[in-house]
Amino acid sequence: MEVQAKAKWVRTSPRKVRLVAQTLRNLPVSEALVACQFMPRAAARDVAKVIRSAQANAENNFNLVKDDLVIKEIRVESGPTLKRGQPRAMGRLFSIFKRTSHITAVVEDRPGVVKRRATLPRAPQPTSRPTPTPAAAASRVAAASQPATTESDEVATPKSPRKTRAEPKREASKGQAEGKKPQAKKSETVKTESKKKDEPKKDRKEKKGK
């Protein structure tokens, strides 16, 4: 079914509009609208407006699917020309013609014409992790059984034991355990013995005094 839309008295020359219309014939409506967006011509805007109007007429008035619409024809006819003039040298008048055009877009439905992009097949993704081979499993077990070595273990040397201040006390405690008495106790025993020796002398002096 054919549906059309018209735009009259467009202030663009028919020649400029025809250059755009020739490239859009027999194209799907969606592709033609995208092509008009990227065309470096001012007439592409006017042509796109007519195509959208024809698409809306087909969709709303005739219940057609917009994805099945194809541009059958775009007619461009010359409209009335506006005559203007520009003064030039020696009193002359240089004529200027401002041309207009009438654009007619004819759209029809062609089901199945629009080719949709096929989805690319995705690469198969592994659902589970691959099972390791027996050789790989044995190498992992051997690596885990070996202790990890570091540079500090290889370079470190045994340190000599340092003498601390607590050693003399330890020696004293060892002597007590063995039955040896400290020197301080020896001096006390010597004093007690000297006192015992002096006691009989005092008794003798007291007897003599009596």
pLDDT number for residue 120 = 62
Mean pLDDT value across residues 22-40 = 93
Q: What is the pTM of this model?
A: 0.54
CATH class of 2-109: alpha beta
| Residue with token string 């009193």 | 91
Q: At 103, which helix (H) or strand (E)? A: strand 101-109
Percent of the residues in the chain that have a pLDDT greater than 90, as a whole number: 49
Local confidence band at 129 (pLDDT 50, 70, 90 cut-offs): low
Who wins on pLDDT, 54 or 172? 54
Distance CA 36, CA 49 (A): 10
Distance CA 55, CA 32 (A): 12
pLDDT tens digits, residue range 138-180?
A: 887 787 777 655 555 555 555 666 655 555 555 555 555 555 5
For the chain, the first-to-last Cα distance in angstroms comes to 168
Domain extent listing, the chain? 2-109
pLDDT tens digits, residue range 172-205?
A: 555 555 555 455 455 566 566 666 666 666 566 5
Distance CA 156, CA 159 (A): 9
